[in-house]
């Protein structure tokens, strides 16, 4: 049996068609395009998927900091991980998980966040999320992050559907070397890795 090859690239270095393939045309990713934490509730809930896709596309083109990384399995685009300075995510900064659990100042631009994972159906449980998180850490480090946070689900404490696991499971972050900072809500943790 041949070994599958997983590679990752910054979203700014891939064809937009590959991003579209990962987000798909149905399900939560196709209706979010990683904009939920970035825009207000009214704009998010009132926006068609095409508008949300355009927002992400513009963020990839217009920002100095790419908003994420894409994973490939044997050359096929199969996954996404959002990673940016935490200040890019107003809803995260206002969330109970962060206000009740982070030790970092909301104004600190050197604090980055891993906010979302997407792995296409049919490609899960094959190590894609592990490689996405490693690539997110590397991109944050390369672009000047001091600390990177995550807000995972503790699946040992709380059952979660695959849709709910977009935050990532706690074990994924712990295996990558993140430390638990707090547990502000049942089944949720704030984790961090110091990069400097």
Q: Is the pLDDT of residue 1 over 70?
A: no
Q: Which of 80, 94, 97 is nearest to 38 (CA)?
A: 94
The sheet carrying 147-150 orders its strands as 6-10, 68-73, 76-85, 111-119, 147-150, 188-194, 179-185
Write out pLDDT tens, residues 127-182.
Answer: 999 999 999 999 999 999 999 999 999 999 988 877 778 999 999 999 999 999 99
Contact 187, 101 (CB under 8 A): no
End-to-end CA distance of the chain: 40
Q: What is the pLDDT of residue 63?
A: 84
Q: What is the pLDDT of residue 132?
A: 97
How is the chain split into domains, by residue range?
Answer: 6-194
User: 6-194 architecture in CATH?
Assistant: 3-Layer(aba) Sandwich (3.40)
Q: Is the pLDDT of residue 22 over 60?
A: yes
């Amino acid at each position: 049996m041949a070994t599958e090859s997983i590679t990752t690239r910054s979203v700014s270095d891939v064809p937009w068609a590959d991003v579209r393939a990962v987000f798909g045309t149905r399900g939560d990713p196709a209706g979010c395009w990683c904009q939920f934490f970035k825009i207000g509730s009214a704009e998010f809930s009132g926006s068609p998927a095409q508008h949300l896709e355009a927002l992400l596309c513009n963020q990839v083109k217009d920002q100095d900091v790419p908003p994420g990384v894409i994973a490939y399995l044997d050359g096929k685009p199969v996954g996404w991980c959002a990673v940016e300075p935490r200040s890019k995510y107003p809803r995260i900064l206002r969330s109970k998980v962060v206000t009740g659990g982070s030790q970092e100042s909301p104004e600190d631009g050197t604090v980055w966040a891993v906010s979302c994972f997407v792995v296409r159906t049919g490609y899960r449980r094959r190590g894609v999320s592990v490689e996405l998180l490693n690539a997110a850490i590397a991109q944050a480090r390369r672009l000047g992050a001091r600390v990177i946070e995550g807000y995972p689900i503790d699946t040992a404490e709380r059952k979660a559907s695959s849709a709910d696991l977009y935050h990532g499971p706690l074990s994924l972050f712990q295996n990558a070397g993140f430390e638990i900072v707090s547990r502000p809500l049942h089944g949720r943790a704030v984790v961090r890795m110091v990069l400097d």
